[in-house]
Amino acid sequence: MDRVNRVSQASLIASDSPEPLWVQAAELIERRVREGALASGRRLPAERELCNQMGISRVTLRRALQHLVEQGVLRSSHGRGWYVAGRPDRDWPNSLESFTETARRKALTATSRVIRAEVKEASLDEADQFGVAAGTRLFVLERVRMLDGVPVGVDSSRVVLNVAPRLPETDFGKASLIEELTAGGAEPVVAQSVIEAKGCPEGIAEHLDLTPGDPVLVMHQSMVDAVGRVVLVSTITYRGDRYRLRTSFVRGGTSPA
């Protein structure tokens, strides 16, 4: 079988990942389609070969393939196999979505263990971040974020209390902070993010089943609403083996001849 028509064996399915196997398999196949390794109209390898390549069962594979059919990435031909329908109409955009929304998209269950939820006065640095006066009341929320019960990250967030006064009454073991802000009329629409690789701090390691110094990815994020108010500032520390950022880059200007 030619190399173009193969699903890369180098991209292994991680059995210990919090993502279900069928989700990983679907993402792998979709990625090969986006990259052009599986061209439009091509027939995929036989199911048995795909199962062997990815180390998954036929039931798992068929769930992944059916999902891709529903997404318009593949089409099935009874008795003939699975074919690439063309470029997916919906790629993975740089869209702003909550942890809970991401989990739903991946067919996972998002839950949280609340470490801290309290109201405090803004320090000088915090006031500068939000563009408010020092001493303004903030709602502080720190949580261990989990997917299907597996710790993925520790989220430390701050919100100006008068933007969403009911936050202290909310059960954030299950609720989404972004969805609560949206319901209160302060929907975040733009986020500025900085991501850095670091060694895990001692105070966070215990919540992520890590040893201090183990690799983590730290995302510093500031979100604004439609009128330009900073409504949420957060620092999220993700386990390095349980977080993956997917983005896209567009070359600006005119390409040289």
As for how many domains the chain has, the answer is 2
Q: Does 171 reside within a domain?
A: yes
Separation between Cα atoms, residue 210 and residue 204, nearest integer Å: 8
Separation between Cα atoms, residue 183 and residue 53, nearest integer Å: 45
State residue 10's pLDDT score.
41
- Residue with the larger pLDDT of the pair 89 and 11: 11
Examine the domain organization and report whether 64 and 119 are in the same domain.
no
Q: Does 69 reside within a domain?
A: yes
**Residue (of 184, 192, 179) closest to 160 by Cα position:** 184
Examine the domain organization and report whether 22 and 115 are in the same domain.
no
At 155-206, the pLDDT tens digits run 999 999 999 999 999 999 989 999 999 999 999 999 999 999 999 999 999 9
- Of 31-45, 93-107, 167-181, which range is least confident? 93-107
Please state, in angstroms and as integers, the Cα–Cα distance from residue 241 to each residue in 19, 126, 207, 244, following that order.
12, 30, 15, 8
Long-range contact set of residues 156-159: C-beta below 8 Å, sequence gap at least 24 = 156/234, 156/235, 156/236, 157/232, 157/233, 157/234, 158/126, 158/129, 158/130, 158/232, 158/233, 158/234, 159/231, 159/232, 159/233
Examine the domain organization and report whether 28 and 57 are in the same domain.
yes
Examine the domain organization and report whether 108 and 235 are in the same domain.
yes
Q: Does 80 reside within a domain?
A: yes
Examine the domain organization and report whether 32 and 107 are in the same domain.
no
Q: Does 256 reside within a domain?
A: no
Q: Does 75 reside within a domain?
A: yes
Examine the domain organization and report whether 228 and 137 are in the same domain.
yes
Q: Does 255 reside within a domain?
A: no
Examine the domain organization and report whether 26 and 67 are in the same domain.
yes
At 71-92, the pLDDT tens digits run 778 888 777 789 888 544 333 4
Separation between Cα atoms, residue 132 and residue 125, nearest integer Å: 10
Q: Does 254 reside within a domain?
A: no
Q: Mean per-residue pLDDT for 204-217?
A: 94
pTM across the whole model: 0.64
Domain span at 147:
101-239
Examine the domain organization and report whether 38 and 129 are in the same domain.
no
